[in-house]
Amino acid sequence: MTDLARLVGDIAREMADLPERGEVATYIPPLAAIDPGRFGLCVVTADGAIHLAGDALEPFSIQSISKVFALTQALGKVGEALWSRVGREPSGTPFNSIVQLEREQGIPRNPFINAGALVVADINLAGHAPRVAIGELLRFVRHLADDESIVIDEIVARAEQATGFRNIALANYMKAFGTIRHAPELTLGVYFHQCAIAMSCRQLAMAGRFLMHGGLHAPGGARIVPARRARRINALMLTCGHYDASGDFAFRVGLPGKSGVGGGILAIAPGKASIAVWSPGLNASGNSQLGTLALERLADATGWSVFAEA
Ligand code: GLN
């Protein structure tokens, strides 16, 4: 067994026994029913080796991690023009906050807070019916992961459509500023469905490979995005991927990462690894409590922090 294989197993064993697991998200009713005892970890290294531990093959709701794939898709459609509609600064506010929008003319701080992700969904919707836009994103994610079995959990999507009043407020507020161009319910439909994509840690880590390989699907493989775009997406994940806890995540883990309220985190060690972790209990900022701790352990043991000496 390699050192990394042993490390991944050791981290999963340590996490399995910890009593302080955070709180599962309850504002999306189906997520409230998920067992907080679950834990999965998958590390895909640059040479293509895959290390799995715990519930790494169990699909969960990727929620805001979908914002990475949706942003990649939107940049492919409109390129740099995207930045006239969404900023690229950390917000220092919770993921679902509305407070900056009034002062900043309806332009969200970054594409990873909900307001910004709604604008990205609106861009992906242009010229399409919502069903087609979401189908395109699902196909893209399946392609990235080399896995046709990835699906959308319709129960989660419908639950958010019925209860996502903060997101409904954000979309309507931005519609008033013109940053959302479609009927808000159409843009929200795309957003709720992308958040309801269900993936396992293995599928997520595979889908993140293009961000470890400078934009390539795999070494020597097809180009998904230009190298500069991959660097920039990683930069946004590092600075904005954990909302008002992005600084703390950079401090503790030191890797570009994107969390979701389903308890998943996708983290990238550029040139080294694509990592996905899942533990449904969240900390006060809505990020996976043990997922963060597991990544901290992994980054400490491997020296993969982007701030480490080479
Ligand atoms: N669908 C969730 C929401 O809009 C996503 C939030 C998250 O994962 N942080 O509230």
Q: Tell me whether residue 216 is in a domain.
A: yes
Summarised one tens digit per residue, pLDDT across range 242-255 is 999 999 999 999 99
Q: Residue 250 Cα, ligand 1 centroid: separation in angstroms?
A: 21
Q: Give the pLDDT band (50/70/90) at residue 135.
A: very high
- State the chain's maximal CA–CA distance in angstroms: 58
> Is 42 inside a domain boundary?
no
Q: What percent of the chain has pLDDT over 90?
A: 98
Q: Which atom of ligand 1 is nearest to the CA of 262?
A: 8
pLDDT tens for each residue of 186-202: 999 999 999 999 999 99
Kindly state the average pLDDT of the residues 155-175.
Answer: 98
Cα 151 to Cα 125: distance, rounded to the nearest angstrom = 19
The predicted pLDDT at position 72 comes to 98
Q: Can you give the pLDDT at residue 2?
A: 81
Q: What is the mean pLDDT of residues 27-40?
A: 97
Whole-number pLDDT of residue 181: 98
* CB-ligand 1 contact for 114 (6 Å cutoff): yes
Q: How far apart are CA 80 and CA 74, in angstroms?
A: 10
Q: What is the pLDDT of residues 63-89, one digit of tens each?
A: 999 999 999 999 999 999 999 999 999
Mean pLDDT for 36-64 is 98
So what's the pLDDT on residue 305?
A: 98
Q: Is residue 37 part of a domain?
A: no
pLDDT at residue number 309: 86
- Token pair 């396992």 in the structure block, residue: 200
pLDDT above 70 coverage of the chain, percent: 100
- Nearest-5° angle of CA 32, CA 256, CA 219? 110
- Residue 83 belongs to some domain of the structure: yes
Report the chain's mean pLDDT, rounded to a whole number: 97
**Contact in structure between 67 and 82 (CB atoms under 8 Å):** no
Residue 96 vs residues 166, 224, 226, 286: alpha-carbon distances, Å: 7, 30, 30, 10
Ligand 1 pocket, residue 64 CB under 6 Å: yes
Residue range(s) defining the domain that contains residue 241: 1-10+26-31+56-302
pLDDT, average across residues 129-157: 98
Give the type of residue at 80: E
Q: What is the mean pLDDT of residues 7-19?
A: 96
Residue 255: per-residue pLDDT: 98
Asked, for residue 244, whether it belongs to a domain, the answer is yes
Q: Is the pTM of this model over 0.95?
A: yes
Task: Provide the number of structural domains found in the chain.
Answer: 1
**Range 232-265 burial, b when 16+ CB lie within 10 A, else e:** ebbebbbbbbbbbbbeebbebbbbbbbbbbbbbb
CA dihedral 95, 141, 278, 5 (to 10 degrees): -140
Sign of CA dihedral 271, 277, 283, 285: positive
Q: Is the CB of 90 under 6 A from ligand 1?
A: no
Residue 293: pLDDT band by 50, 70, 90 thresholds?
very high
Q: What is the pLDDT of residue 208?
A: 98
Q: Is residue 296 part of a domain?
A: yes
Residue 67 counted as domain residue = yes
Q: Is residue 309 part of a domain?
A: no
Pocket test residue of 27, 91, 95 for ligand 1, highest count of atoms within 8 A of CB: 95
Q: What does the alpha-carbon distance between residue 4 and residue 45 come to, in Å, rounded to a whole number?
A: 10
Which pair of tokens denotes residue 194? Answer: 């992308």
Q: Can you give the CATH number for the domain in which 227 is found?
A: 3.40.710.10
Indicate whether residue 287 lines ligand 1 (CB < 6 A). Answer: no
Q: Find tokens 């409109």 and name the residue.
A: 78
Q: Which of 195, 265, 288 to mutate to test the pocket of ligand 1 (most atoms within 8 A of CB)?
A: 195
**Positions marked catalytic:** 64, 67, 191, 243, 261
